[in-house]
């Protein structure tokens, strides 16, 4: 069953998914806690025109596509914030509009410049064909993410727990939010070559939401999100190897979705089916004992 570990491309894919999960876990947890999960989805699509334009100008250059996607994603985020301040539209509405336009424009550019195979690779990734340069990009992104999160952790936690108090303590909250969104976009850009622009956000959000059903503290939530993400990546890659014609990226996200459903059903903050069943049995036993004690 471990035959897939003998292939170099599978070992590269496993390493990429584990390192990606290490950087995406804290970012995804804060997106979930700050109720910005859909913003991550929007940012993943908003980066497509920048990636497509860089691809059209420089080909499959890791550096150029990274810079292009980063500029496009941050541009949509900043423009949506600006429109929310100067118009009647709220930030979520302007972001939804802009990311849909960006997604359509990016797919148009890719269709004009490349082939259907290139378009499919950009949307769904190619985790089994990663180059050494892409692995360096993923490692660099994770390193910058961990350093950045360590730098802004305290004010970011304060903004997440009590945003009103955070605004009263500092006027530079926008800077923390901007740095956090940069880390979000950076991780999405690092993940798009492996999982595609449509699947990369899944490795960021789904493990974080699953971990939230089990714990109530930030540190164990991040650790559990990393474990869920890395484990889903490993099992998803194994399944895509064992099953013919199954794409690796969607398979990884489907395994993460299965982890989410199990967490929803049995997590202490979810439906907690086992706890409820155990509680009913306990109450039933106590009720029967009280009835027996009252019998003459």
- Domain assignment present for 73: yes
136: in domain: yes
Is residue 296 one of the residues assigned to a domain?
no
Length of the chain measured in residues: 296
Nearest C-alpha neighbor of 94 from the set 104, 105, 83: 83
* Distance, CA of 197 to CA of 140 (rounded, Å): 19
The domain of 248 spans 3-289
CATH number at residue 87: 1.10.3470.10
Paired tokens of 50:
């920048």
Q: At CA 34, angle to CA 143 and CA 91, rounded to 5?
A: 105
Residue entry with tokens 């390193």: 143
> How much is the pTM?
0.84
CB 188 within 8 A of CB 47: yes
φ/ψ (deg, to 5) at 72: -65, -45
pLDDT: which is higher, 250 or 260: 260
Residue 238 in any domain: the answer is yes
Residue 295 lies in a domain: no
- State the pLDDT at residue 122: 63
The answer to whether residue 122 sits within a structural domain is yes
Q: Residue 125: is its pLDDT beyond 60?
A: yes
Number of domains comprising the chain: 1
> Contact 166/159 with Cβ under 8 angstroms?
yes
Tell me phi and psi for residue 114, to 5 degrees.
-115, -160
Model confidence pLDDT, tens digit, residues 199-217: 888 999 999 999 999 999 9
191 vs 147, which has greater pLDDT?
Answer: 147
Domain for residue 294, yes or no? no
């Amino acid at each position: 069953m471990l035959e897939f570990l003998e292939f170099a491309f599978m070992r590269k894919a496993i390493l990429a998914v584990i390192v990606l999960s290490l950087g995406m876990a804290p970012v995804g947890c804060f997106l979930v806690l700050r109720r910005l999960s859909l913003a991550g989805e929007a940012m993943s699509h908003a980066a497509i025109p920048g990636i497509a334009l860089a691809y059209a100008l420089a080909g499959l250059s890791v550096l150029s596509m990274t810079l292009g996607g980063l500029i496009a994603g941050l541009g949509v985020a900043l423009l949506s914030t600006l429109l929310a301040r100067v118009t009647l539209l709220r930030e979520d509405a302007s972001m939804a509009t802009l990311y849909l336009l960006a997604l359509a424009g990016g797919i148009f550019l890719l269709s004009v410049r490349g082939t259907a195979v290139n378009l499919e690779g950009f949307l769904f990734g190619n985790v089994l064909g990663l180059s050494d340069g892409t692995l360096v990009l993923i490692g660099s992104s994770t390193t910058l993410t961990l350093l950045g999160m360590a730098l802004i952790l305290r004010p970011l936690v304060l903004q997440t727990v009590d945003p009103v108090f955070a605004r009263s303590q500092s006027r530079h909250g926008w800077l923390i939010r901007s740095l956090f969104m940069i880390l979000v976009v950076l991780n999405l850009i690092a993940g798009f070559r492996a999982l595609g622009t449509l699947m990369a956000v899944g490795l960021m959000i789904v493990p974080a939401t699953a971990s939230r059903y089990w714990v109530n503290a930030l540190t164990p939530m991040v650790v559990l999100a990393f474990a869920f993400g890395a484990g889903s990546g490993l099992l998803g890659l194994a399944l895509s190897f064992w099953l013919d014609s199954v794409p690796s990226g969607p398979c990884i996200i489907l395994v993460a979705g299965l982890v989410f459903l199990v967490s929803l059903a049995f997590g202490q903050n979810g439906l907690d089916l086992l706890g409820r069943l155990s509680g009913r049995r306990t109450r039933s036993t106590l009720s029967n004992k009280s009835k027996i004690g009252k019998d003459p």
